[in-house]
Amino acid sequence: MSERIYLNNDWQFSPEFNEKMLKGTFKSPLEEVRIPHSVCKMPYNNFDEECYQKVSAYRKVFATKKEWKNKLVLLTIEAAAHQAEVFLNGKSLGIHKCGYTAFTVDLTKSLLGPDKNNILVIKVDSRETLNVPPFGYAIDYMTFGGIYRDVYLEIKNPVYIKNINIATDLNHFTSVVELNTEENIKGYSLTQKITPYNYPKAEPCAELTSGIKGINTFTASDPAPVVQWSLETPELYVLETNLFNGEDKLVDTKKIRFGFRDIRFDKTGFYLNGKKIKLRGLNRHQSFPYVGYAMPENIQREDADILKYELGLNEVRTSHYPQSHYFLDRCDEIGLLVFTEIPGWQFIGDDEWKDVAVENVREMVTQYRNHPSIFMWGVRINESQDDEKFYARTNAAAHSLDKTRPTGGVRNGKFGKFQEDVFTYNDFFHSGKNKGVLHKNKVTASSKGYMVTEYNGHMFPTKSFDDETHRTEHAIRHANVLDTVCEYKEIAGSSGWCAFDYNTHKDFGSGDRICYHGVMDMFRNPKLAASVYASQAPAEQVGDILEISSSMDIGEYPAAIRGKVWIFTNADSVKMYVNDTFIKEYTVKNSPYRHLPHGPILIDDYIGDRLVTEDKIPPRTAVKMKKVFSAIAIHGIDNIPLKEKFIAASIIAGGKYTMDKLWQLGGKYVCNWGQGSVTYRFEAIRNGEVVKTAVKSACKKITLETICKRTVLEESNSYDVALVHIAAKDQNNNIMSYCQESLSLSVAGNIELIGPSSVSLKGGQITIYVKSKLPKNSTGTLKITDWQENEYLINFKVTKQM
């Protein structure tokens, strides 16, 4: 039988590799680290990628166990950025050239005898000069360095199950069971059992037995009953495969989670289980503040939850490389489709480089193909030029290892040599003033499936502390694109650029090594544009969404003109009140975005009946005046459209109202000057009930809100990290975007801080990361002291799940 032993703890780290470390006699003290690990700690911004350009060493001493006699001992490293060489007891056992895929090295022959200490050293090269993807030219993301995903040993019998490739459609199942060897397998057989993941004790849906047919054994069945994996009900099953030797003794067991589903692209769009789905997604980089790629299981899983349950997405593109299985596992569990691709960014290298890229395809497909959430393989270097021979190889590699999924190849050039199954195009056509994306026939003549894989991004970088006009335009640009993608039926869907801000190289970003392209910031706190996405999803998925694009403070705007103010909601309607006087009820029909399920709604009335009831203006004149004032509110007095100018002139020509009177009423209804404080209230209504309220009025007091969803940190295969979200809010629960004050942080007990002990709010928000520390089964406290000396204590429990 096989056993897995995680090796994430008790590593010694040196930022410089030295041959002497390979020897048992090496004694110099090194830094004690745990994995996931980053070769350097980084500030939030304004740092140089030089800091992680290193050849470092991870060193670990472990004893050979007696039970390992006659067994194979395999070491797997899930990810080491970007080239790793494994040494055991001084001997090099292999080099792996990809920072984003896993690799396994057989340690058996180099292990010392029972109870003897082995010296395991991993030499990790994180220099961006390596001749492997994505390196070779400029890259718009930092690539970091270190062993940042799990490391484990597996103890196996000499014949074991190396891989299983499961393929399904709606309810048919096939698997290819690959053994590590063809030698000495005479008489071997296997059994397989499929059970529902959530009901492991339920009757199996299928049980199979088969003789071993060589290194690969094919099995097939029609299990029953099964429920398809879908976005709403992502049902998962477990395939347990048991391998028996000629004497019928169990020699290996492998359990793999999978789902039954059918995926298809054609010229009309994307279909999951025969149902057409418009893909609405964003791109995700796997980096985090301070630690680059090094975040453990729970944080990876929580990113998937953010995408599905906070942003209301149904798809994510793992730009521009394969990402953590923990992230993918969670996508499988919650029904979030994933487009995953090989590492690379615009540049294709020499033959040696290309060989590595083809190997990257093989590793990606072999390692990730049992995730039901993955619906397409990206087999081109993102936005690279055509290279027919090279891409024939990458496509063939993917097709030979997985017959069920199409390939895509993300390009930014139109037409060109199209070798994949789906035309995947980064469409940066939208400039804020034109249509959201191009029509498919302007990009490709192909009659195959078509998907937009990026838009916006660098076209409109936006910080959570930019002014409201900027943040609103950012949100509306996302709405413009999403609306056109819905309008153009032959577009299967889109992945916008991007979910989260990210650290990048000097050639990109805002001069501080950050690309502010996310609809959330690097801490996963939402910008306004996040509401455009969230409001497209039903309340059962994202809760009730009601967001107003403006604080309603006219002083925020040039010449005190608010311009267009938008309501983002997934409710049936929104009622607007000014100082408790009802003004108007808006429904989605009021949205200029006709193709979205819940298009942003433009506020076009700040007056309601008040001209009649408060100012005693006759109803017909009041209608005319409203038109004029609404036009002034949006365009400003100097840019008032001709139509409304004529209306204003006709009111004055009527002789009853002077320019002064209009000016006075305009002051009251457009500018709110000199009045008592004006309160705007919005009520989101669903099924006749108010489900959410937003109130905009002068800020009286700021309170710090601290939200920590998980206060139990689980020490399992490695350390755990929990997040504390902090937001400065006014008395109406609005985030105060221009509150950038400082917070001091300190910890006590078995937790430590990731990042500095003094931080400032960014756009009124910040996230604090707290990391568990051994010894286990204890507690820790985070103390936050705000700029007014208020203290907030958050208690954590650290538990052991080994």
Cβ distance to ligand GAL smaller for residue 412 or 706: 412
The answer to the question of residue 457 lying near ligand GAL (CB under 6 A) is yes
Task: Give the CB-nearest residue to ligand GAL.
Answer: 457
- DSSP helix, strand, coil percent of the chain (3-state; round to 5): 20, 35, 45
Q: CB of 135: closest distance to ligand GAL in angstroms? A: 15
Q: What is the DSSP letter of 100?
A: S
Instruction: Supply the DSSP string of 632-649, one letter for each residue.
Output: HHHH-GGG--HHHHHHHH
Closest CA to 173 of 217, 220, 129, 134: 220
Whether 344 and 135 have beta carbons less than 8 Å apart is answered as no
The answer to the question of residue 686 lying near ligand GAL (CB under 6 A) is no
- Binding piece for ligand GAL, criterion CB under 6 A, among 40-48, 453-461, 533-541, 615-623: 453-461
SS (H, E, C) 412-440: CCCCCCCCCCEEEEECCCCCCCCCCCCCH
Binds ligand GAL by CB under 6 A, chosen from 49, 140, 473, 521: 140
Owner of token pair 């391998």? 243
Cβ distance to ligand GAL smaller for residue 85 or 383: 383
Owner of token pair 């497909």? 365
Q: How far apart are CA 696 and CA 545, in angstroms?
A: 16
Binds ligand GAL by CB under 6 A, chosen from 17, 450, 497, 629: 497
Question: Which element (helix H / strand E) includes 487?
Answer: helix 468-487
The answer to the question of residue 341 lying near ligand GAL (CB under 6 A) is no
Q: Which of residues 355-384 bind ligand GAL (CB under 6 A)?
A: 382-383
In angstroms, how far is the first alpha carbon of the chain from the final one?
20
SS3 of 470, please?
Answer: helix
Instruction: Supply the DSSP string of 241-252, one letter for each residue.
Output: EEEE-TT--EEE
- Read off φ and ψ for residue 643, nearest 5 degrees: -55, -50
Q: CB of 397: closest distance to ligand GAL in angstroms? A: 22
Beta bridge partners of 783: 746, 793
Cβ distance to ligand GAL smaller for residue 269 or 457: 457
Which alpha helices (DSSP H) does 284-387 contain, by range?
Answer: 297-305, 325-334, 351-368
**Out of 302, 454, 683, 714, which one is annotated catalytic?**
454
Cβ distance to ligand GAL smaller for residue 322 or 457: 457
Q: CB of 319: closest distance to ligand GAL in angstroms? A: 6
Whether 381 and 269 have beta carbons less than 8 Å apart is answered as no
Beta bridge partners of 684: 574, 692
Q: Which of residues 516-545 bind ligand GAL (CB under 6 A)?
A: 517
Closest CA to 394 of 380, 384, 405, 408: 380
- Binding piece for ligand GAL, criterion CB under 6 A, among 182-190, 261-269, 451-459, 744-752: 451-459
Cis, bond preceding 225 (omega within 30 deg of 0):
yes
Cβ distance to ligand GAL smaller for residue 141 or 566: 141
The answer to the question of residue 458 lying near ligand GAL (CB under 6 A) is yes
Question: Which element (helix H / strand E) includes 132?
Answer: none
Q: How far apart are CA 314 and CA 281, in angstroms?
A: 6
Instruction: Tell me the residue length of the chain.
Output: 802
Q: How far apart are CA 752 and CA 147, in angstroms?
A: 20
The answer to the question of residue 323 lying near ligand GAL (CB under 6 A) is no
Cβ distance to ligand GAL smaller for residue 364 or 601: 364
277's tokens = 């789905």
Cβ distance to ligand GAL smaller for residue 461 or 780: 461
The answer to the question of residue 426 lying near ligand GAL (CB under 6 A) is yes
Cβ distance to ligand GAL smaller for residue 409 or 764: 409
Binding residues for ligand GAL, rule CB under 6 A, total: 11
Q: For the purposes of burial, counting CB atoms within 10 Å of the CB of 355, is it exposed (0-12), middle (13-18) or buried (19 or more)?
A: middle
Cβ distance to ligand GAL smaller for residue 343 or 600: 343
Q: CB of 515: closest distance to ligand GAL in angstroms? A: 7
- Binding piece for ligand GAL, criterion CB under 6 A, among 73-81, 104-112, 450-458, 560-568: 450-458
Q: CB of 98: closest distance to ligand GAL in angstroms? A: 18
The answer to the question of residue 737 lying near ligand GAL (CB under 6 A) is no
Q: How far apart are CA 535 and CA 776, in angstroms?
A: 42
Q: CB of 383: closest distance to ligand GAL in angstroms? A: 5
Beta bridge partners of 240: 193, 255
Cβ distance to ligand GAL smaller for residue 517 or 524: 517
The answer to the question of residue 454 lying near ligand GAL (CB under 6 A) is yes
How do strand 315-318 and strand 279-283 relate by DSSP bridges? parallel
Quickly count: other Cβ atoms within 10 Å of residue 437's Cβ. Answer: 25
Radius of gyration of the chain (CA): 29
- Binding piece for ligand GAL, criterion CB under 6 A, among 219-227, 264-272, 452-460, 600-608: 452-460
Cβ distance to ligand GAL smaller for residue 228 or 453: 453
| Helices and strands counted in the chain (H then E) | 11, 48
- Binding piece for ligand GAL, criterion CB under 6 A, among 80-88, 226-234, 454-462, 764-772: 454-462
Q: CB of 284: closest distance to ligand GAL in angstroms? A: 11
Q: CB of 510: closest distance to ligand GAL in angstroms? A: 12
Whether 608 and 583 have beta carbons less than 8 Å apart is answered as yes
Question: Which element (helix H / strand E) includes 529?
Answer: helix 529-534
The answer to the question of residue 495 lying near ligand GAL (CB under 6 A) is no
Q: CB of 497: closest distance to ligand GAL in angstroms? A: 4
Q: CB of 351: closest distance to ligand GAL in angstroms? A: 25
Whether 798 and 779 have beta carbons less than 8 Å apart is answered as yes
Cα 213 to chain centroid distance, Å, stands at: 41
Q: How far apart are CA 252 and CA 2, in angstroms?
A: 6
Quickly count: other Cβ atoms within 10 Å of residue 91's Cβ. Answer: 11
Cβ distance to ligand GAL smaller for residue 332 or 454: 454
**Out of 310, 383, 420, 644, which one is annotated catalytic?**
383
Residue 178 catalytic? no
Q: What angle do CA 515, 517, 523 make, to 5 degrees?
A: 80
Q: Sheet holding 216-221: strands in order across?
A: 161-168, 173-179, 216-221
Q: CB of 138: closest distance to ligand GAL in angstroms? A: 10
Cβ distance to ligand GAL smaller for residue 140 or 303: 140
Closest CA to 411 of 378, 376, 447: 378
- Read off φ and ψ for residue 453, nearest 5 degrees: -105, -10
Residue 454 catalytic? yes
Q: CB of 426: closest distance to ligand GAL in angstroms? A: 5
Q: CB of 238: closest distance to ligand GAL in angstroms? A: 36
Q: Which residues belong to the active site? A: 383, 454
Contact residues for ligand GAL, defined by CB under 6 A: 140, 319, 382-383, 412, 426, 454, 457-458, 497, 517
